[in-house]
Structure 1
Amino acid sequence: MVKILLVGIGGFTGAVLRYALNSYIHKSTYSWGFPVGTLAVNVTGCIIIGVLSRWDELKNIFSPELRLLVFMGVLGAFTTFSTFGNETVQLLNDRKLDFAILNVTTHLCLGLFAVLTGRYMVNFFWK
């Protein structure tokens, strides 16, 4: 039961953080017609998970419970892969193939780059 509560508390926190960041970015980029807010949330989540997972590998900083709270709860709710998929399909439905391809490419490339960057940051600063 404690594990479920930890994931739930983390999920609530991650969802609120996701909403706040996405809303903030969406206000200034709405006219672009491209889901910049979702991209920003996913890349930010990838950097954070890259940093925290590598730091944990090196320093063993997370208990199993804290790992559930942060990784499964907060970051699981914060990143928005399902939204990414839905927005990509909507771009395709709107016959915006160029934006759909751009959306997939930038999420994958920047997401992987962000995870690697987070891991290298830990190696550089804390190893």
Structure 2
Amino acid sequence: MTSPPTARTVLRRAALAAAGGAVGTAARLGLGMLIADAPASVLVANIVGAMLLGILTARLPASDLRILLGTGVLGGFTTYSAFAVDSIGLWSASPALAAGYVAASLIGGLLAAWIGLRVGGSLGRRSAS
């Protein structure tokens, strides 16, 4: 059985996640300014973020850096809440478009995460040889 982390460790990791979250949130805002259509920018952020998180998870062991980049930056960059709100907004305008958006988000995110894990894992095998 492992002992719980110290208060100092918890605070350090929370600060890393918060700092990374600020960067990721700013990046998502920038993406939203580049892609004016809100649902499209959220879709891109979530799929790209899922792939990057897959790569990160495959390449980095659980560590402060993974908390900073994964939980923080990519957690701030991707967004379930905007996806949910956009899905409901699209539903009122076009149920078929909303269903396509939800399907593209879920399937695209899962596929991107799978690709990221595969790419990240293969990078580790290449660098070991």
TM-score > 0.5 by shorter chain:
yes
Give the TM-score normalised by the residue count of structure 2.
Answer: 0.81
Unpaired runs of 5+ residues, structure 1, are none
Contact 2:56 2:66 in 1 (8 A): no
- Secondary structure at the counterpart of residue 35 of structure 1: helix
2:42 equivalent to 1:43: no
Deviation at 1:97, TM superposition (A): 0.2
Unpaired runs of 5+ residues, structure 2, are 1-10
Judged with a 3 Å threshold, the aligned counterparts in structure 2 of structure 1 residues 123 and 73 are, in CA distance, closer, same or farther, namely: closer
Give the number of the structure whose alpha-carbon radius of gyration is greater: 2
What is the alpha-carbon root mean square deviation over aligned residues?
Answer: 1.6
Compare relative contact order (CA 8 Å, sep 6+) and give the higher one, 1 or 2. Answer: 1
2:123 equivalent to 1:125: yes
Aligned residue-pair number:
115
Contact 1:22 1:40 in 2 (8 A): no
Which consecutive aligned stretches of 4+ in structure 1 deviate over 6 angstroms post-superposition?
none
Deviation at 1:79, TM superposition (A): 0.3
- Rounded Cα–Cα distance in structure 2 between residues aligned with 1:66 and 1:126: 17
Identity of aligned residues (%): 30
